[in-house]
Structure 1
Amino acid sequence: MEITGRVTADAIVRTLSDERQVVNFSVAVNDSYKAKNGERVTQTEYFDCSYWIGTGIAQYLTKGSVVELSGRVSVRAWIDGEGQAKAGLNFHTSKITLHGGANMKAAAQKETDTTAMEVHEAVVVNQDGAADDDLPF
């Protein structure tokens, strides 16, 4: 199954008692449809996700990032501390594709600024204002 949604909070890397590590994060997936009365209805489903393949991806799974996930869904049910029945959706992720977000844009902009600065610093200007390069054209 594939889902696309926004990460609801920064991912957390957990280390289990047997030293295995898992990346846990949550994703909100919106779906909208037109009701019989013509009104537009939007539903949001939340998935608690786990990714066991590697922990390096956790730094990119930040709140607001758009991700496309492949994997399988399972349902869990429990009784909360007040005796109320609860249920949730788990998504056992096997593939993650990052589509961007606020933090990724800021990181890309920082990289662009750094690259521009390095290029700017590498240019030597002659006294007459022309760039000093050894190119004959």
Structure 2
Amino acid sequence: MVQKRDEGKEVVNFSIAINDRYKPKGSAEYKEVATFINCSYWLSSKVVQWIKKGAFVQVTGRIGMHVYINNEGNPVGSLDFHVDSIKILVFAKKAISAEKRNSKRAAKGRKEKVTEDVSF
């Protein structure tokens, strides 16, 4: 999503998901965890045409935290990443096709780790 700021600058805001999988001690089952990170990219809004849900990206920059109290009075936090550069490793169309193939395999009873899951 591209937003125009007061100064006339445009920022591209998107989220990435980092998927992790581990087996807890004493368990036979794997646990899957996704960590979502909010990203902002200020250098060029043209990149928005390439970063779609399902794309694999490599980002560099600096990470920070956004902590606040929500309407219910509970503390809430999020990871924010200020992106200096973006490298697209797999475009969304290819990643979505691979995701569909893996979904079909899983439906046949095979349990495979889907590494193409990237949420934007």
Structures share fold, TM-score greater than 0.5: yes
Unaligned runs of 5+ in 1: 1-11, 107-137
One-letter amino acid matched to 1:82: E
2:48 pairs, out of 25, 36, 58, with: 58
- Aligned to 1:56, the other structure's residue is in SS state helix
Query: What does residue 14 of structure 1 align with?
Result: 3
Q: Could you tell me whether the CA contact under 8 Å between 1:60 and 1:104 is conserved in 2?
A: no
Unaligned runs of 5+ in 2: 97-120
Q: Could you tell me whether the CA contact under 8 Å between 2:21 and 2:33 is conserved in 1?
A: yes
Q: Which range moved further: 22-31 or 96-105?
A: 96-105
Are 2:70 and 1:75 equivalent residues in the alignment?
no
- Aligned to 1:50, the other structure's residue is in SS state strand
One-letter amino acid matched to 2:12: V
Are 2:19 and 1:30 equivalent residues in the alignment?
yes
Query: CA 1:37–1:96 in structure 2 vs 1: closer, same or farther (change >3 Å)?
Result: same
Give the length in aligned residue pairs. 95
TM-score (norm 1): 0.63
Query: What does residue 97 of structure 1 align with?
Result: 87
TM-fit CA distance, 1:34: 2.4
- Aligned to 1:37, the other structure's residue is in SS state coil
- Aligned to 2:49, the other structure's residue is in SS state helix
TM-score (norm 2): 0.71
Q: Distance in 2 between matches of 1:61 and 1:92?
A: 16
Q: Distance in 2 between matches of 1:15 and 1:45?
A: 27
Q: Give the % identical residues.
A: 33
Query: CA 1:105–1:43 in structure 2 vs 1: closer, same or farther (change >3 Å)?
Result: closer
**Larger relative CO (CA 8 A, sep 6+): 1 or 2?**
2
Q: Could you tell me whether the CA contact under 8 Å between 2:54 and 2:91 is conserved in 1?
A: yes
- Aligned to 1:42, the other structure's residue is in SS state strand
- Aligned to 1:63, the other structure's residue is in SS state coil
Structure with larger Rg: 1
Residues 37-88 of structure 1: CA deviation (Å, up to 9, x unaligned): 1432222100000011111101111111111111111011111122221100
